[in-house]
Structure formats: structure tokens, C-alpha cells
Structure 1
Amino acid sequence: MLDHPQIRAWRPALSGVEEVFHARITDHVYPLHTHDSWTLLIVDDGMVRYDLDRHEHGALEQMVTLLPPHVPHNGRAVTPAGFRKRVVYLDSSQLEDSLIGLAVDSPVLEDLVLRQRIHQLHQSLEHAGEELEAESRLALVSERLRDHLQGRVEDRTAVRNAPIAHQLRDLLDANFVEGISLQDASEALHAHPAHLVRVFSREFGMGPHQYLTSRRVDLARKLLLAGMSPRLVAASAGFYDQSHFNRHFKRTLGTTPGRYARSGPPDLVAPFC
């Protein structure tokens, strides 16, 4: 009896990503097919065997697989237990068609840093309201993929550019409630998105999305202690919705917004609006 695939697929609100696809596959065999986008795949359990340009390859845990657009490929599980995979489909704004031939020659990338970044990208795509984080992580992933294909992967952790890092911080400070996209920041500061993420993280020890969230949580604390209800604080501090607000507030402070607001001496706790 065939075991039906367990599938989740959605179109995220992130320019450059056409689709996110998570699946557990056992019996299903993918026939030869093509995509018009780049297939960036990581395997969480099991192994996938596939043919690309008439050559057999394998996708394993801890490795990254990049299948180029317009080139036929198939796919099947190696063992009866099947496999679990996560895929993002990238458009040509992330990787140019001129790189297709290089990807055909080397679709498997052994790079634990890249794999971890792809995992973090998937995590950020799971929740609404994390657009800046997803955009930042995508910029670093696309840059490293391009470096792999062009044979120039290098350690960029020492890259410094303090002035532009501070300019980006000023831009985030001026827009932390309404938010600003990494692309808009890139255009305003005339710097590549991935470069902005690297220099900011190097200068301040946290990513731009983490800084933006911390500013929002800091404002939320003030509003809560001033007596504003958590429901109104979520929107006033720039969070996507109540769930988004609660998740980040508790992650930062270890308690919910409501409990935080009621945590002071009874005579000093301001009434909710």
C-alpha cells in the first residue's frame, strides 16, 4: 500500500522566493521534470537519489543540493523509510541563469555554514512578521551559493565597515515601528543587502532583524507599563499581530506581555486602557 506524501507548500511574502515546500516522501517517485526557478534543497532525514543531466547524484543530510532551472531531474527515496526534505524555490533575482552550467556540474555542496543558514531561512519563513529576518537570511544564502558556483567561497567574518553599519542602525531607528525592508535599506545606503547584514552583525553583535525586534520590544515594555493593553501595544510597537508580539516578548523577557504589565506592586500597576 502506497504511503501518501506529507506536504506543506506556500508562497511567502518575500521577494526572490517563489515557493516553500516541506515534505516527507516514502513511496512516491518523482518523474523527470523541470522548474523555471532554482531548487534549493536540504534533507533532514534519509537520502534522495536523483538524475540531473543524465548523471546520478545523491542528496544526504548535512549537505545542500542546488538544482538549476530548465534542467530535467527526477527523485526517489533510497530506503523504504523514505526521506524528509525542505525546499525553497529561488527566482533569477537571487541566482542568474548564467550560473546554470556551473550548477549542473556541481549540484551538491558540502558546506555546514550554508546548510545552517538555509535552516534558519526556513525557520524565519514559518512565521508572518519576520520579513526582515527572512530577507537578511536569504541575502546571505544567495551570496554564499553564488560564491560556491563561482569557486570563491571565503571567510567573510572579518569584514568591517563601521560607518555604514551605523548608518543602517540610524535607518532602523527611524523606521522600527513601521519597518523597513532590507532592499529599501540597500538602495538608501548604496550597499549590497548581504554586505549590510554582515557589517551590521560584525559591528553590533546582532543581525538587523534582531536589532529591529529589540527596539520594538523595548517600546512595548514602556507602553505596557504606561497602562496600554497588550492588544493595542502589539500594533503600536510594530508587531505583525498578537501572536508575533507574544512570541518575541516572551523570547526576550521570559514572560508574557500581560504578566509583565501586572508584575509591579498592585498599587502602582496602571489600569489597562
Structure 2
Amino acid sequence: MGARPDITAWRPPVEGIDEVFHAFFADHAYPMHTHDAWTLLIVDQGLVRYDLDRHEHGAPSSVVTLLPPHVPHNGDAATPEGFRKRVLYLDTRQIDAALIGRAVDRPVLHDQRLRHRVHQLHRTLERRGDELEAQSRLALVSERLARHLRDQLDVPPPVHDRRVARELRELLDQRFVQGLTLREAADRLHVHQTHLVRAFSREFGMAPHQYLTGRRVDLARRLLLGGMRAPDVASAAGFYDQSHFSRHFKRVVGTSPGHYARTAKDVTGYRRSSEPRTNAA
């Protein structure tokens, strides 16, 4: 009997991703089946062998595999130790249906930059509260997948759009506490989501989600110095929960919210005790 499968699956609150599936299989073999979504696969351990449209393929850890919707495929381990994989099932609207034939012909993509971006997207999806970051990463991944299938990988995407970048910054300034989705911003500004991410990043040297997080951390600092309790600050500044707040605050400021607040109180107390005394009249 082989090792017990290790499986984690969830549906993230990110438009465009139907399911996230992480799994280790020692001896499981998938029968022929189809999905009604694009299957974006990276392998972290072992080698997966599969048939797609009567042609055999392999998925080692160095590549990205994109299986089109409604096309039968199977899969099993090509090595004795089994395989560990991470899969994103993407909504069919993420990639033009006209590219399904291209994906059938060449589902294996040799692109280390793309693989790293898919890995980063998985890491982001494991954390609640970072949905804008996940949406931005998904937009870039979907764009690069489509460029692969269209043989346009060497064509640089347009990114010079200062007007759009500054209008997005205004939107983020207005909505940084309650947040907004990338689709909402794209609809408001009448541009494609990927163009929005690229234009903002080029103009301001950071991605939209980084700017939004920075605004939230700045507000959190002011609230902490004003005496608000850290758990209350997390909600007031727009963070998903205390863990989400602490992680980003420490990454930006260099210390935890609680330590930051305690240090501020100590300094305030020191200054007060150093003030010159006045004699009573």
C-alpha cells in the first residue's frame, strides 16, 4: 500500500480562480477526465505523466503545464516516489477560448519567469486578506499564458500610461480601508486589469497592492500612537484580521504592532518626566 495522499483544496475569494488544489500522491492514477476550467499545473516533486488528445506528455518540476478546458486527459506518477503538485483551476474567461487548440498542441511551457509567478500566486492565495495582490498576480500570469499561446512572448506589453496610473492611485486613496477589487478599478477606469497593474507599477515603482498596504500601515501607526488597541486597529485600518495586520505591519515597520505601541508610550512617558517643573505661584 502506498503513502496516504496529502491534499488541500479551497476556493479563494479571487475572481477568476475556481479552485486551488495542492496534493501529494504516491500511487494514484487519474483516469481520463475533463474540466470545465483551464488547469494550470506546477510540479514540486517527482514527475507527472499524462495523455492529452492522444499524445503523451510529461510535467517535471521545471515547467508550467496548461491543460485546456473540455479536453480529456489523465495522469499518474512517472517516478516511484510519487509526485507533489499545485494546481489552479482558472475560469474560462481568463484565457481566450480561441487559444484552446494551441494549448492542446503544446501544453508544456518552458518559462522560469512564468513558473516563479505561478509559485508567487499560490503563496499569496494561502493568505487571507491579500486578495488585491492575488488579483494582480493572476492578471500577469494570465497575460503571459496567452502570450505564450499566441507566440508573442517577446513582444513587450504597453505600460506607459501615467493618466491611468494616477487615477488608480486616487481610487486607492479613496478606498484603501474598505478596499477594492482589480476588476472594479479596471471597470471604473475603462482599461484592462493587466494594463492597470503594469501602468501603476511603472509610474510609482510598486504594485497597486503594495501601495494599498502602505496606506493601511500608515493609518495603523497613527491609530496605535493615538492609543487604540491593536486588535481594533486591524479592523479600522482595513486588514482582514489580526494575523494579516501583524504580518504586514512587521514587514513594513520592522516590529510588531504591540511592540510599536508600547515603545511609543515609553517615549511619551520619558518626555513628560523630563519636562521642567514650574514653581507654584
TM-score band, normalised by the shorter chain?
over 0.9
State the secondary structure of the residue aligned to 2:243. helix
Q: Which residue of 1 aligns with 2:131?
A: 131
Shift of 1:100: 1.2
For residues 78 and 13 of structure 1, do their structure 2 counterparts lie closer, same or farther at Cα, with a shift above 3 Å needed? same
Q: Which residue of 1 aligns with 2:211?
A: 211
Shift of 1:157: 7.0
Note if 1:221 corresponds to 2:221: yes
Identity fraction in percent: 63
State the secondary structure of the residue aligned to 1:9. strand
Q: For 1:88-237, what aligned pairs fall within 5 Å after superposition?
A: 88-154=88-154, 156=156, 159-237=159-237
Q: Which stretches in structure 2 are left out of the alignment for 5+ residues?
A: 270-281
Note if 1:78 corresponds to 2:78: yes
* Superposed CA RMSD: 1.3
Shift of 1:203: 1.3
Q: Which residue of 2 aligns with 1:258?
A: 258
Shift of 1:266: 2.5
**Deviating runs (4+, > 6 A) in structure 1?**
none
CA distance in 2, matches of 1:155, 1:221: 43
CA distance in 1, matches of 2:218, 2:129: 17
CA distance in 1, matches of 2:164, 2:16: 24
State the secondary structure of the residue aligned to 1:263. helix
Note if 1:27 corresponds to 2:20: no
Shift of 1:62: 2.1
CA distance in 2, matches of 1:266, 1:201: 39
CA distance in 2, matches of 1:93, 1:117: 19
State the secondary structure of the residue aligned to 1:32. strand
Confirm or deny: 8 A CA contact 1:52 1:104 kept in the other structure. Answer: yes
State the secondary structure of the residue aligned to 1:12. coil
TM-score (norm 2): 0.93
Q: Could you give the per-residue CA deviations for residues 16-53 of structure 1, whole angstroms, max 9, x where no partner exists?
A: 11100001111111111111111000111211111101
Q: Which residue of 2 aligns with 1:18?
A: 18
CA distance in 1, matches of 2:228, 2:79: 56
Note if 1:64 corresponds to 2:73: no
Q: Which residue of 2 aligns with 1:4?
A: 4
Shift of 1:87: 0.4
For residues 66 and 267 of structure 1, do their structure 2 counterparts lie closer, same or farther at Cα, with a shift above 3 Å needed? closer
Confirm or deny: 8 A CA contact 2:63 2:108 kept in the other structure. Answer: yes
Task: Supply the AA of the counterpart residue of 2:66.
Answer: L
Greater mean alpha carbon deviation, residues 75-84 or residues 212-221: 75-84
CA distance in 2, matches of 1:122, 1:201: 21
CA distance in 2, matches of 1:30, 1:129: 34
Shift of 1:156: 3.2
Q: Which residue of 1 aligns with 2:276?
A: none
CA distance in 2, matches of 1:239, 1:90: 26
Confirm or deny: 8 A CA contact 2:234 2:240 kept in the other structure. Answer: yes
Query: Could you say which structure has the larger radius of gyration?
Result: 2
